[in-house]
Amino acid sequence: MPDQTDKPGAEPQVGAPVGAGRNLLFLREEELRLAQDLLFFGYRDFTAGPDQILAELGMGRAHHRVLHFVGRRPGITVGELLGILGITKQSLARVLTPLVEQGYVLQATGRNDRRQRLLSLTAKGEALERRLFERQREWVMQAYREAGPVAVEGFRRVMRGLMGPAARAQLERLERPGPARPGTPPLARIG
């Protein structure tokens, strides 16, 4: 059912949801600021659960990002991880070194190029990454269920639209089928 704000000439009601197709080329500053607010508060609450787990281990979000992307692509090279994270080698070393030393990440030499360092999670790393993922999975599933499939697709389009070309290319590489992760549950229905 169309929102009142989607009708030509209709004035939006105060507090009424903004229609999805309304004035896309003429967004007001307040609508854009609201988008920033939504991103900020959504990200803050989305990361709160994992932040608590990580703090107990003396880790932070940078460790989470490494665990996430190494878990998504076992065998990822240090160079590829640097490209995804958009950080310097020194910054990555500050996070990766303790993860290796504490037994969360395994670093191996490349088969074809001995200069390459291939990263994968150990069983301990997989368990931690799984714990972090499960805290966020529930948050995302709830939001997706409340919003519905059309909104989920719209969200994905908006998030891709916020990415630059390099980030989109990296996401496409991550979305390519890779080796199955042990213990990965089947897809959850959101509709």
pLDDT in tens, 69-107: 999 999 999 999 999 999 999 999 999 999 999 999 999
pLDDT band at 179 (very low <50, low <70, confident <90, very high): low
pLDDT reading at 16 higher than 50: no
Supply the pTM of this predicted model. Answer: 0.76
Instruction: Give the pLDDT confidence of 106-165 residue by residue, as tens digits.
Output: 999 878 878 889 999 999 999 999 999 999 999 999 999 999 999 999 999 999 999 999
Instruction: Evaluate whether 121 touches 106 at the Cβ level (below 8 Å).
Output: yes
What's the residue count for the chain? 191
Question: Which CA distances in Å does 73 have to 27, 146, 150, 170?
Answer: 38, 30, 29, 12
**pLDDT score recorded for residue 99:** 98
Among 159, 164, 144, 160, CA closest to 39: 159
Compute the Cα dihedral for 166, 171, 177, 178 and give only its sign: positive
Number of Cβ within a 10 Å radius of residue 66: 26
> Cα 151 vs. chain centroid, distance in angstroms?
17
Average pLDDT rounded to a whole number, residues 28-45: 93
Query: Residue 188 pLDDT more than 70?
Result: no
Which pLDDT belongs to residue 181?
A: 47
